[in-house]
Amino acid sequence: MSERENILARVKEALTVAAPLPGSHHGAHAEPASLPTQEDHRRVLPLVGESFEERVALFAKNSDELRSDFKLLIDQSELVAALNKLRAAEGWTRVASHKGSLTDAACQALGLPVLLTDAGFDKTELEKCPVGISECDALVAQTGSVLVTSRSAGGRALSVLPPHHVVLARRGQLVPGLPEAFALVKQKYGADYPSMISFITGPSRTGDIERILVLGAHGPKKLTILCF
Amino acid sequence: MSTAAVAFKKDAVRLSADLRHRALIQGALSKYELKRDEKQALFQDWQGARQLAAETKWEAVNHLDTYLDQFVRGLEARGTKVHWASTAQQARDIMVGICREKSARSIVKSKAMTAEEIHLNEALEHAGFDVVESDLGEFIVQLREEAPYHIVFPAMHLTRGEIKDVFERKLHDAPSDSPEELTMVARRVLRQKYVQADVGITGANFAVAETGMVSVTENEGNARLTAALPKTMITLLGIEKIVPRLEDLALFLPMLATVGAGQLISGYNTMYGGPRQPGEADGPEEFHVVLLDNNRTAILADAEQRDSLHCIRCGACLNVCPIYRNVGGHTYGTTYPGPIGSVITPNLRGLQEWKHLSYSSSLCGACTEACPVKIDLAHHLLQNRRNASRQKPSFLQRMAFKLFAPLATKPWLWSLLVTKGGRFGQIFHGLVKGTRLDPAYVWTKTRDLPPIARQSFKEWWKERK
């Protein structure tokens, strides 16, 4: 027999005896009828606000606490202006990005040499780029997270290897919370999932030395979210 | 006593009186407690969330065969190679085998308690591979040639000065003892490793059955890089990590971050479902998933303690445990310290050898209340004690109960020997208190003995009538 069969046989054998019900030592005594629904999750998770304005305010508050730089902009021209300001402030001489409607326009406006990751790239070159500019699948108000996938954001490395990650998003991409974000992933990719789905929440961080927060442990030291 | 028990007792006695150690641990954990309470209060119904999480893990663990099968089929459908290991040895052999086959020179690893459990680094180094831990805390304890002190905060027991020292000794690079600068040294050193490494190894926090994905939680981005740059990626996980559906993570990810580190959600929560897919920019050419049993099926077979497989390794029970906070993480001598370690280690590694852990508990129940998936930890400690004495009754224990039984069943004898005798004895106790002549020496050598009440409950009850 293979180890797969051995292990599964031991599991089956073990499960012939029923276990006490979940939370029975806290007084629960009924077998749950079904797995929790999205409404069940929503009922217990933190509040996310009712209107778009409240949710944007929550996303902004969370970004602030996480030390992400979140900017809500009027239109694409403001987005270009914000990018040019960053370029001047940080002295970018080139950028890394991927093909996409928002990123294409941004790279064109910046007018700098672009390392595109889409068709494969040299990882040492990407490591030298001062910034990675990517699109995203959603912004999550509940947690201040950016949802990216290997398909929507130029692969796996673009959003973590350069020291500054700039995310371009549209207002319509703001979702209230994690339940809605996972529903979106299922609806968008259900038939064929990307090999990586990632919730990025703030710049890379560590507290491993005396529980003191340091940004930029391994991933980006800065996370900028430009939303219009 | 077993050798593990002797070592445990020796270290526990030493560390609980070590004021420097106490100050470090209390300092780190008091910061954590503030953040945890703040984030927990944001939940609309934290107790409701615990019940939903418990029900979800119960469903997964009690139908583990079905869900494992679904998980593996999902992974294989997108080109992942899945390996099964009944024992730690098999898991080590599989992983060493993959690294040999790839002719790997260097390996970069992100934090994985399961890898600690099977002593993976030693095996890889023994086979001639250069393995580097990329999580900052793990990187520090690796440089110090130590085991992690805590399952979430591996270097919690070290001061910045000690970390500076080890950086100086091993990396010859430590500009100052500022956490910021030390972190940047590690960043520089490890960046090179990511780019050069041939194989990346990660653990997993959850395994999603429905979509065939592993979910990895971290704050530093080190696991993201480990899974992005090397040509081969290996994920090692225990078979109990299963959750049924993708949306279950909407509940588990914020709960794990809240009780694990006092965060709303961790910095990076990433689901991997396969190697680089056609049309994708990057990612490993090969993705291997190693599923480990290593006696988990033995715990599964014990229906009474099956819920200890619900554990999501958040560390919440360690952080609230008065024993852990006094004796520290290394004293346990186990991969998993604290209450959850005291529950599962005797069942994973031998009841008689490790039963002392189930006795080193005040049974205060703080762990049971802290557990986000409602594992009945305090009762499991009692069950381990019962199982251990049932399997191998202790002569001393039996004699003690033989003496106690007549005392407890004859009120006049109790009153004479315990109540009156105690009061009488206490008059002279001051003469020998805290010395080796003291019959209560085990207690009084480090503590005060409270005076016996002037009136017993029985006397009070009589008077009240």
ipTM score of complex: 0.96
Structural tokens at position A59: 């996303």
**A45 located within any domain:** no
Asked if B135 lies within 8 A of A154 by C-beta distance, the reply is no
Range of the structural domain that residue B414 is part of: 408-464
Shortest alpha-carbon distance between residue A217 and chain B (Å): 5
Q: How many residues does chain B have?
A: 465
Residues of A with Cβ-Cβ distance to B55 under 8 angstroms: 22-23, 32, 35-36
User: What whole-number distance in Å separates Cα of residue A123 and Cα of residue B100?
Assistant: 24
| B42 in contact with chain A, both atoms CB, cutoff 8 A | yes
Whether residues B33 and B131 fall in one domain = no
Cβ neighbors of B138 (< 8 A, separation 6 or more) are: B109, B111, B148, B154
- Distance between CA B460 and CA B301 in Å, rounded? 50
DSSP string computed for B129-145: -EEEE-SHHHHHHHHTT
**B304 in a structural domain:** no
Residue A21 belongs to a domain: no
- Number of domains within chain A: 1
Whether residues B375 and B353 share a domain: the answer is yes
Residues in chain B with CB shorter than 8 Å from the CB of A211 are: 27-28, 31-32, 153, 156
Q: Both tokens of residue B368?
A: 């049971």
In this structure, is residue B448 part of a structural domain?
Answer: yes
Q: Is B276 on the interface with A (CB under 8 A)?
A: yes
| Segment 329-348 of chain B within 8 Å of chain A by CB | none
Say how many domains are in chain B.
Answer: 3
pLDDT at B448 (0 to 100)? 86
Counting other chains too, the contacts that A2-5 makes at CB distance below 8 Å and 24 or more residues apart are A2/B84, A3/B83, A3/B84, A3/B85, A3/B86, A3/B90, A4/B72, A4/B84
Report strand pairing: A164-169 vs A132-135: parallel
Q: Measured between beta carbons, which residues in chain A are less than 8 angstroms from residue B45?
A: 43-44
Question: Has residue A30 been placed in a domain?
Answer: no
Chain A touched by B190 (CB under 8 Å): yes
CA distance B397 to chain A (A): 28
At B54 the pLDDT is: 96
Which A residues in the span 113-132 are in contact with B, Cβ-Cβ below 8 Å?
Answer: 117-121, 123-124, 127
Same domain for B150 and B264, yes or no, is yes
| B391 burial via Cβ count (<10 Å: 0-12, 13-18, 19+) | exposed
Number of CB atoms found within 10 A of residue B231's CB: 16
| pLDDT on residue B456 | 87
- Domain annotation covers residue B423: yes
CA nearest A201 in B: which residue?
Answer: B267
Q: Is residue B305 part of a domain?
A: no
Q: Are residues B58 and B34 in the same domain?
A: no
Q: Is B218 on the interface with A (CB under 8 A)?
A: no
> Is residue B303 included in any domain, yes or no?
no
The whole-angstrom distance between A28's CA and the closest CA on chain B is 9
* Residue A94's CATH number: 3.40.50.10420
Is the Cβ pair A15, B62 closer than 8 Å? yes
Helix A76-90 and helix A101-110: axis angle, to 10°? 50
CA dist B306 and B62 (Å) reads 9
All residues of chain B having their beta carbon less than 8 Å from the beta carbon of residue A118 are: 281
Q: What is the pLDDT of residue B458?
A: 85
B295 conformational bin, left if phi > 0, alpha if psi -120 to 50, beta if neither:
left
Residue A188's domain spans which residues?
52-207+214-227
Tell whether B164 and B282 lie within a shared domain.
yes
User: pLDDT by residue for chain B (465 residues), tens digit each?
Assistant: 889 999 999 999 999 999 999 999 999 899 999 999 999 999 999 999 999 999 999 999 999 999 999 999 999 999 999 999 999 999 999 999 999 999 999 999 999 999 999 999 999 999 999 999 999 999 999 999 999 999 999 999 999 999 999 999 999 998 899 999 999 999 999 998 989 999 999 999 999 999 999 999 999 999 999 999 999 999 999 999 999 999 999 999 999 999 999 999 999 999 999 999 999 999 999 999 999 999 999 999 999 999 999 999 999 999 999 999 999 999 999 999 999 999 999 999 999 999 999 999 999 999 999 999 999 999 999 999 999 999 998 898 889 999 999 999 999 999 899 888 888 988 888 888 888 888 888 888 888 888 888 888 888 999 997
DSSP assignment of A114-128: EEE-TT---HHHHHH
Question: Which residue in this structure is represented by tokens 């028990």?
Answer: B5
If asked whether residues B27 and B117 sit together in one domain, one would say no
CB-CB under 8 Å, A157 with B183: no
Give B-chain residues touching A208 at CB under 8 angstroms: 135-137, 140, 153-155, 183
CB contact, 8 Å: B161 with chain A? no
Q: Report yes or no on A91 lying in a domain.
A: yes
Q: Do B58 and B31 share a structural domain?
A: no
How far from B283 is each of A37, B74, B214, B459, CA to CA, in Å? 33, 18, 15, 77
Q: What does the pLDDT look like over B306-319, one tens digit per residue?
A: 999 999 999 999 99
In a domain? residue B32: yes
**B401 lies in a domain?**
no
Q: Which DSSP state fits A21?
A: P
pLDDT at A29: 62
In a domain, A124, yes or no: yes
Q: What is the pLDDT of residue A28?
A: 64
The answer to whether A61 contacts chain B (CB < 8 Å) is no
Which residue numbers in chain A have pLDDT < 50? Answer: none
Residues of B in contact with A179 (CB under 8 A): 247, 250
In a domain, B280, yes or no: yes
pLDDT at B293: 98
| Chain A partners within 8 Å of B63 (Cβ) | 15
